[in-house]
Structure 1
Amino acid sequence: MVAPTPPPSRLSPEQRERLEQLADAGRLRAALYQVPKPSPPARRRSRGARQYPGGRPKPWHIARPRSRG
Structure 2
Amino acid sequence: MNSNFVHIFCQVNLRFWEICYGNLLIIIKIKLNMCKLKIKLKDLIFLFGARLLFSLLVIVKVLVKTCSL
TM over 0.5: no
TM-score between the two structures when normalised by the length of structure 1 = 0.40
Question: Between Structure 1 and Structure 2, whose CA radius of gyration is higher?
Answer: 1
TM-score between the two structures when normalised by the length of structure 2 = 0.40
Instruction: Identify which of structures 1 and 2 has the higher relative contact order when contacts are C-alpha pairs closer than 8 Å and 6+ apart.
Output: 2
